[in-house]
Amino acid sequence: MTPEALRNTHLSYSRLTRFETCPLSYRFHYLDKLEAEPGLPLRFGKAIHAALEVLMKEVLENELTGPLSEDRALEVLREAWAAEALTGVEVFQEALRILREFIVQHGVVDHRTILAVEKEFRLPVGPFTVLGFIDRVDWVDDETIEVIDYKTNHQLFTREEVDTSLQLSLYAVAAKRLWPWAKKVKLTFLMVRHGVRQETTRTEEQLADALAYAETLGQQTETVQEFPARLNSNCSYCDHRRHCPAYADALKGKREFICDNLADLEAVAHEREEVARLAKALYARKEELEDVLKTHLKHQDELVLGGVRYRMFSTTSLAFPLQPTLAVLAEATGRSQEELAEQLGSIDKKALDAELKRLGKTLDRPRVALLKAELEAHADKTHSPRFWAKEVQ
Ligand code: SF4
């Protein structure tokens, strides 16, 4: 490709992340300009974003204060639904559930605390301009703003993903330029399916690193000559998967390399990475197929297809509340509750983390960190080996 063909008119987070995730998808989308065919998750996400944008823009523009209206949410969802050509009563119900929970979670909305909705920014990054739109920016106090990005992902992000997200870093730099009075910028992924806020912040050094990384990626997009396919767990949602030979081969389980000497560690690692990439793509495809079967199993008890019987069943997990369990056991065994608690009792880490997080709202960070360290000193630790693999440059 000629340098002219590779030149970016501008950069955006979506452009950068598409290149980073799969250079071939970038080529299809931005260079070959093939028609994208977004799957259901992408169109669903766009419809929810559009509905939330309209609802919050109306609060801002009409200077409203009070709870958001469920009736209005239904109206704007209908418009977004049609625009994205979505179908299916279950998907519609899920969209409505998300909007209703958003309304409940936001309670009384005050237009004075919303600084911007779908705020456009243009950020100079080296020789590039990064163009983007921030879903929402809220006023928190006289020195703090909150940058909010709505996400419709099924899975929550890991702490590492939130703390290193390039998107949030770019938004933080843009927000600092747009609202220079803000000394602090809170960054939040609002996971609307779960009603969970995944929050983080950035130091100046982290922001400088993120900008340098964005510039590096931007330069790469203009200088590379190869755009290899990078199979990943999102291939089944890729809007260019129909054009992608690597995905077609992966679905057929086609392999390129098989190591015939297990003493050759380079070859072992090479095959392991190929299998891992294929496995990700195939596992995602299996989930996609299972979702179709599960939808049908909502309307009938079982399906028998190709000699296989498919059913849904519920699994039960038990949690024993401490006091009543100890009381029953103490009576049955004649032992004291203290003795039994010592033998059987332990506190669930998730519950403890939640309590520490709650305490973090009233105590300062160093005190909570100290308390956590003190508690961890009492914890019984078990170690189990885990395999870890991460691409290095
Ligand atoms: S299907 Fe996967 S490998 Fe193919 S272009 Fe899309 S993201 Fe890349």
Residue 5 has pLDDT above 80, yes or no: no
What domains can be seen in the chain, in order of their start residue? 40-216 (3.90.320.10), 322-378 (no CATH)
User: Which atom of ligand 1 lies nearest, measured to the CA of 250?
Assistant: 3
What value does the mean pLDDT take over residues 59-81?
Answer: 96
Query: What DSSP designation does 11 have?
Result: B
* pLDDT tens-digit series, residues 174-192: 999 999 999 999 999 999 9
Beta bridge partners of 129: 124
- Sign, Cα dihedral of 369, 372, 377, 380: negative
- Token pair, residue 106, equals 């936001």
Please give the Cα distance from 92 to 77 (Å, whole number). Answer: 9
Beta bridge partners of 311: 302
Residue 367 pLDDT? 86
- Sign, Cα dihedral of 30, 32, 35, 40: negative
What value does the mean pLDDT take over residues 256-270?
Answer: 94
* pLDDT tens-digit series, residues 83-132: 999 998 989 999 999 999 999 999 999 999 999 999 999 999 999 999 99
Please give the Cα distance from 29 to 40 (Å, whole number). Answer: 18
Cβ atoms within 10 A of the Cβ of 141, count? 9
Instruction: Kindly report the backbone phi and psi dihedral angles of residue 173, in degrees, each rounded to the nearest multiple of 5, phi listed first.
Output: -65, -45
Percentage above 90 pLDDT, the chain = 70
Residue 9 has pLDDT above 80, yes or no: no
Cβ atoms within 10 A of the Cβ of 44, count? 23
Residue 226 pLDDT? 93
Beta bridge partners of 302: 311
At residue 263 the predicted structure's pLDDT band, cuts being 50, 70 and 90, is very high
Residue 10 has pLDDT above 80, yes or no: yes
- Token pair, residue 107, equals 């309670």
Q: Is 241 in the pocket of ligand 1 (CB under 6 A)?
A: yes
Q: Is 18 in the pocket of ligand 1 (CB under 6 A)?
A: no
Query: What separation in Å is there between the alpha carbon of 230 and the centre of ligand 1?
Result: 6
Ligand 1 atom 4, closest CA: 244
Please give the Cα distance from 378 to 346 (Å, whole number). Answer: 11
User: Which atom of ligand 1 lies nearest, measured to the CA of 231?
Assistant: 3
What value does the mean pLDDT take over residues 246-261?
Answer: 91
Residue 393 has pLDDT above 70, yes or no: no
Q: Is 278 in the pocket of ligand 1 (CB under 6 A)?
A: no
| Residues 6+ positions from 242 with CB-CB distance below 8 Å | 37
Please give the Cα distance from 145 to 175 (Å, whole number). Answer: 8
At residue 213 the predicted structure's pLDDT band, cuts being 50, 70 and 90, is very high
Residue 6 pLDDT? 73
* pLDDT tens-digit series, residues 327-354: 999 999 999 999 999 888 888 888 888 8
Placement of tokens 């309670």 in the chain: 107
Q: Is 236 in the pocket of ligand 1 (CB under 6 A)?
A: no
Which of the residue ranges 146-155, 222-231, 310-319, 378-387 would you say has the lowest mean pLDDT? Answer: 378-387
Q: Is 168 in the pocket of ligand 1 (CB under 6 A)?
A: no
* pLDDT tens-digit series, residues 28-57: 999 999 999 998 899 999 999 999 999 999
| Residues 6+ positions from 344 with CB-CB distance below 8 Å | 325, 326, 329
3-class secondary structure, 70? helix
Helices 70-83 and 40-61 cross at an angle (nearest 10°) of 140
Which of the residue ranges 106-110, 147-151, 231-235, 336-340 would you say has the lowest mean pLDDT? Answer: 231-235
Beta strands in the chain (DSSP E): 65-67, 108-110, 114-125, 128-141, 144-151, 184-191, 196-200, 302-305, 308-311
Residue 359 pLDDT? 87
Residue 391 has pLDDT above 80, yes or no: no
Please give the Cα distance from 147 to 186 (Å, whole number). Answer: 6
Quick one: which H or E segment has residue 45?
helix 40-61
User: Which atom of ligand 1 lies nearest, measured to the CA of 244?
Assistant: 4
